Amino acid sequence: MPLRLIFMGTPDFAVPTLTELLGAGHDIAAVYTRAAKPAGRGMELQPTPVEREARRLGLPVLTPKTLKTDDAQAAFRAFGADAAVVVAYGMILPKPVLDAVPLGCFNLHASLLPRWRGAAPINRAVMAGDAQSGVTVMRMDEGLDTGDMAMIERVAIGPDMTAGDLHDALAPLGGDLMLRALGALERGTLTFRPQPEEGVTYAAKIDKAESRIDWAKPWQETHNHIRGLSPFPGAWCELEVDGKPVRIKILRTTKGEGQGAPGDVLSERLDIACGEGAVRLLTVQRAGKHAMSAEEFLRGTKLMPGMRLT
């Protein structure tokens, strides 16, 4: 028998789970998401990806600023849901909300818990050079991603995989995993186990201040930093053009060849020297331009051996 659910999510990552649940016949009583924010040149209010999808599907949408008030908690209970599904909602659920649904609140988290609890698990896994990541379904408690785990699926992180690539692999996998978890919940066969006490790490929110590339670091660390911040916010450096510094985002790299002073351009294939070894630029984006291949970039920007990125 389908479950009556409240869905809570905000970014693109959450959309496949919402569509999977609805497609499987579950009754989505309401969709909670963050409020629309001004964005773009016109600073018009932009609804979240989850709100856009929910409205396309004809689902009721709520965007409360807080869930801590009596009114917000009463509204949540009034939907009479069996359970809540939470995917990157971006707001802490207080205990009265966690207790408001009889079967519990279930979170889909984009890491292999307890590694990378917190806000940016996909980015941090790639930046750290992890060999694998995955998605975990857990029953939520009052802690930050500390609840008992129900199901896990794993994905290998390829040597040149970016955070965007990993996001795109995990999002549909997560939707499928949550659907299977709720199926087991319906049948009464879903089991839980506590998270291990060892191996806990925290995925702090990405700070724009950490996005500048430090070419003095070894090539592998530099490569991981670049791919872990791609496509957003994007790791960047500067190139002097006509006597002025121009910001360039580096979106894809691989292992390069050669060695030299950090930041030096070593070859016409855009091998860039690091503190140890080199990375090769594959996809770049000059300020105000679209992302392009290194070859396309070189047709419009002079960057040759002997020059330096800072």
**Which tens digit of pLDDT belongs to each residue from 144-195?**
999 999 999 999 999 999 999 999 999 999 999 999 999 999 999 999 999 9
pTM, 2 dp = 0.94
Residue 7 has pLDDT above 90, yes or no: yes
Q: Kind and range of the H or E element at 248?
A: strand 244-255
Residue 27 has pLDDT above 90, yes or no: yes
Higher pLDDT pick, 302 / 200: 200
Residue 124 has pLDDT above 80, yes or no: yes
Q: In whole angstroms, what is the distance from residue 309 CA to residue 294 CA? A: 14
Higher pLDDT pick, 231 / 299: 231
Q: In whole angstroms, what is the distance from residue 163 CA to residue 182 CA? A: 28
Which CATH number is 208-300's, of 3.40.50.720, 3.30.300.30, 3.10.25.10, 3.30.530.50?
3.10.25.10
Mean pLDDT over 66-77 rounds to 96
Residue 39 has pLDDT above 80, yes or no: no
Residue 243 has pLDDT above 90, yes or no: no
Every domain of the chain and the residues it spans? 4-202, 208-300
Helix axis angle, 15-23 to 49-56, nearest 10°: 20
Q: How many whole angstroms from its chain centre is CA 124?
A: 9
Looking at residue 191, what is its pLDDT?
97
Looking at residue 16, what is its pLDDT?
98
**Which tens digit of pLDDT belongs to each residue from 90-120?**
999 999 999 999 999 999 999 999 999 999 9
Q: In whole angstroms, what is the distance from residue 168 CA to residue 162 CA? A: 10
Residue type, 52: R
Q: In whole angstroms, what is the distance from residue 86 CA to residue 109 CA? A: 9
Helix axis angle, 163-187 to 15-23, nearest 10°: 30
Looking at residue 69, what is its pLDDT?
96
Mean pLDDT over 18-41 rounds to 92
10 Å CB burial of residue 302 (0-12, 13-18, 19+) is exposed
Q: In 3D, which of 108, 54, 66 has the Cα closest to residue 84?
A: 108
Percent of the chain with pLDDT over 70: 100
Residue 40 has pLDDT above 80, yes or no: no
**Could you tell me the CA-to-CA distances from 81 to 60, 75, 195, 279, 291 in Å, in that order?**
14, 11, 27, 52, 44
- Residue by residue, what is the 3-state secondary structure of 158-198? CCCCCHHHHHHHHHHHHHHHHHHHHHHHHHCCCCCECCCCC
Looking at residue 37, what is its pLDDT?
86
Class of domain 4-202: alpha beta
